[in-house]
Amino acid sequence: MEDKVIMENQIKKSKKPMVLGILSLVAWIFPIIGLIVSTFGIVISSKRLKEVKCKAYKIGLVLNILGMTLTVLNIVLAFYLYMNNMA
């Protein structure tokens, strides 16, 4: 019975980084929100990945890194357009 409860808790925890990764792929449009969401996702994924080798954590880490990359590219492009008076 205890094993089942522990397994259910582990499954719930493994969903958080993936959900944050998916949110970061949408939140990159708003750079501040994208940075916050993807940073939390990366921290949670890498912390849990050290504890337990789980495929869901690896997927969450990749999604969050991709979201962070898109967010940074959005910030750089906005800064470039602003500096060249194109915005």
pLDDT per residue over 1-58, tens digit each? 555 556 556 666 678 889 999 999 999 999 999 999 999 999 999 998 888 888 888 9
Q: How far is CA 40 from the centre of its chain?
A: 6
Domain count, the chain: 1
Helix, strand, coil proportions of the chain in percent (round to 5)? 85, 0, 15
Q: At 75, which helix (H) or strand (E)?
A: helix 55-83
Residue 72: domain span: 2-83
Nearest CA to 29 among 66, 81, 61, 75? 75
C-alpha to C-alpha distance for 10 and 71, rounded to whole angstroms: 29
Give me the pLDDT at residue 1, please.
59
